[in-house]
Amino acid sequence: MFRSTAVSARHVSRGFAQRRLASTKTVKEVLDEVIPKKQLQLKQLKTEHGQAVLGDVKVEHVVGGMRGLKAMLWEASVLDPNEGIRFHGLTIPDCQNALTAAPGGKEIIAESMFWLLLTGKVPTEAETRQLSRQLAEKGDLPEYIEKLIDSLPPTLHPMTQLGMGVAALNHESKFQEAYERGIKKSEYWTYALEDSLNLLARLPALAARIYRNVYNPGKPIPKINKDLDLVGNYVNMLGYGDNHDLTEYLRLYIAIHGDHEGGNASAHTSHLVGSTLSDPYLSYAAALYALAGPLHGLANQEVLRWQMNMQKELGDDITHENIEDYLWKTLKSGQVVPGYGHGVLRYPDPRFMALQDFCESRPNLLADPIVQLVKKTYEVAPAVLKEHGKTKNPFPNVDAASGCVLYHYGLTEFKYYTVIFGVSRALGCLTQYVWSRALGLPIERPKSLSMDAIEKLIKQ
Ligand SMILES: CC(C)(COP(=O)(O)OP(=O)(O)OC[C@H]1O[C@@H](n2cnc3c(N)ncnc32)[C@H](O)[C@@H]1OP(=O)(O)O)[C@@H](O)C(=O)NCCC(=O)NCCS
């Protein structure tokens, strides 16, 4: 079902995202049409503007984590520091208006977001449903993966397990098999797409098996329902299928968290690894280990841990003043405030705002003390962080809100939260993997310099 017909002409004219009311094409058929146009665009950029200057490389870029350096191509989304993310020109509210929801639901589903990211077009309902079915039909795990995951100690971090499972799935890689056979470069993307769809389809079963083994050993996992969307099946396999609100929340979270342009650590990692023509499984496994760092994807587990420690320490006496004191205590002990700050954003993250809106529309969520604490912290933290004066962005990022809602709905194992992020971020990383092969992008190889070499260059 389309949630609304209100995609304005302004939005449609941006990029090449458009609604195509009657189409029943497959994602491959749409890509067949779109790819030649993009190949031509790249060719023209290279031949006509290859020497155009996009910015200077300063010493601060080289020693400062390349922050702000415009140095990579990423097709699916572009991040504006003040406005936040746009997926092929569409903001999160635009996507909420335009993209298909699940039957009986209201939130965007992963399939429609994946379609938009991949093709730059808003899928029709028929196209979305057909992709859902295609993924559900491919969703079962091979037996050797089940055995591998079941053999891991439950104390091994769920993210480590997820990365291992994804890497091992490359046993099935069509891309690798075709490469060994000696296919033409122009055919790479079709095998990349096949692997990407297979991987996306299997992530829910893999992630759910890890959850079952670590937190509910021995509990049966429901079979994949071919009539359900990807996240509907994921929540079912996690054991929360009867919780409609949690399912809707995870649909929204997984869709809007699926891509955040290319420079972030996980996206950049998958891009770099993929550029060596490592297959989509290995590229995404590498991305997952970047996601597992506390400054990146692990922040969602850290936020909840931090907020709960705050709750424990403050008891019932939760006032703005007490929260302010707790924030200062965290900062003075040399720790970062998890869920705040961003490498690019300089304004509250629209993904955070979308999750807050989800809470605002549900009185039972708003009544939850941990959800209230997150909201109150948001009312205090930006001013404290501004006064502290270090972070360039004192506002919340998506992780400030994501965990507390899961906790409310009974998914309380916060070590697992980054795995959910890992299911989501595949949407963007796999999209770019397909595009990088379609555009024939080369292996990444930036130039590094030692400090002595930098000083020598400065003197020259
Ligand atoms: C996201 C993050 C890694 C971005 O880092 P960045 O691009 O280097 O951010 P800035 O340029 O604003 O950092 C400048 C300084 O402010 C500090 N800073 C940034 N965010 C901070 C925060 N939330 N709390 C305290 N200090 C912070 C940095 O550690 C850095 O300190 P340093 O100069 O001593 O190294 C950083 O904001 C952070 O650690 N946030 C908390 C973790 C988090 O929420 N991660 C999820 C991101 S989606």
**Could you read off the pLDDT of 117-167 as tens digits, one per residue?**
999 999 999 999 999 999 999 999 999 999 999 999 999 999 999 999 999
User: Which residue has its alpha carbon closest to ligand 1 atom 7?
Assistant: 343
Give the mean pLDDT of the chain: 93
- Is the pLDDT score of 20 beyond 80? no
Output the CA torsion 260→266→271→273 (10° steps).
-170
Contact at 8 Å (CB) between 318 and 311? yes
Residues with CB under 6 A from ligand 1: 67, 295, 299, 331, 336-343, 390-393, 397, 399
Q: Which helix (H) or strand (E) holds 87?
A: strand 84-87
In a 3-state reduction of DSSP, which class is residue 185?
helix
Contact at 8 Å (CB) between 403 and 414? yes
- Is the pLDDT score of 427 beyond 50? yes
Output the CA 340–ligand 1 centroid distance in Å: 7
Phi, psi of 98 (to 5 degrees): -100, -30
Average pLDDT on 331-353 reads 94
In whole angstroms, give the CA distance from residue 175 to residue 258: 23
Output the CA 282–ligand 1 centroid distance in Å: 29
Residue 49 is a catalytic residue: no
- DSSP annotation string for 222-279: PPPPTTS-HHHHHHHHHT-TT-HHHHHHHHHHHHHTS---S-SHHHHHHHHHHHTT--
* 313-331: pLDDT as tens digits: 998 789 999 999 999 999 9
pLDDT at residue number 6: 34
User: Which residue has its alpha carbon closest to ligand 1 atom 36?
Assistant: 341
Average pLDDT on 21-26 reads 82
Contact at 8 Å (CB) between 214 and 206? no
Residue 349 is a catalytic residue: no
- Is the pLDDT score of 111 beyond 90? yes
User: Which residue has its alpha carbon closest to ligand 1 atom 1?
Assistant: 342
Q: Active-site residue among 296, 320, 325, 368?
A: 296
Output the CA 341–ligand 1 centroid distance in Å: 5
pLDDT at residue number 21: 62
State the closest ligand 1 atom to the C-alpha of 341, by its place in the atom list counted from 1: 37
Average pLDDT on 412-418 reads 94
User: Which residue has its alpha carbon closest to ligand 1 atom 25?
Assistant: 336
* 40-91: pLDDT as tens digits: 999 999 999 999 999 999 999 999 999 999 999 999 999 999 999 999 999 9
- Is the pLDDT score of 9 beyond 80? no
Give percent of the chain with pLDDT exceeding 90: 91
The topology under which CATH files domain 300-408 is Cytochrome p450-Terp; domain 2 (1.10.230)
* 282-316: pLDDT as tens digits: 999 999 999 999 899 988 888 999 999 999 999 87
User: Which residue has its alpha carbon closest to ligand 1 atom 40?
Assistant: 341
- Is the pLDDT score of 8 beyond 70? no
> What is the best residue among 79, 337, 342, 374 to mutate for testing ligand 1's pocket, by most ligand atoms within 8 Å of CB?
342
Residue 399 is a catalytic residue: yes
- Residue 433's Cβ-count burial label (10 Å; 0-12, 13-18, 19+) is buried
User: Which residue has its alpha carbon closest to ligand 1 atom 35?
Assistant: 390
Average pLDDT on 29-50 reads 98
In whole angstroms, give the CA distance from residue 356 to residue 400: 10
* Domain positions in the chain: 1-48+60-299+418-444, 300-408
Q: Active-site residue among 88, 257, 342, 408?
A: 342
> What is the best residue among 390, 398, 417, 421 to mutate for testing ligand 1's pocket, by most ligand atoms within 8 Å of CB?
390
Q: What does pTM read for this prediction?
A: 0.92
The domain at 1-48+60-299+418-444 falls in which architecture?
Orthogonal Bundle (1.10)
Strand partners, 122: 19
Output the CA 181–ligand 1 centroid distance in Å: 46
pLDDT at residue number 207: 98
Output the CA 450–ligand 1 centroid distance in Å: 25
Output the CA 179–ligand 1 centroid distance in Å: 41
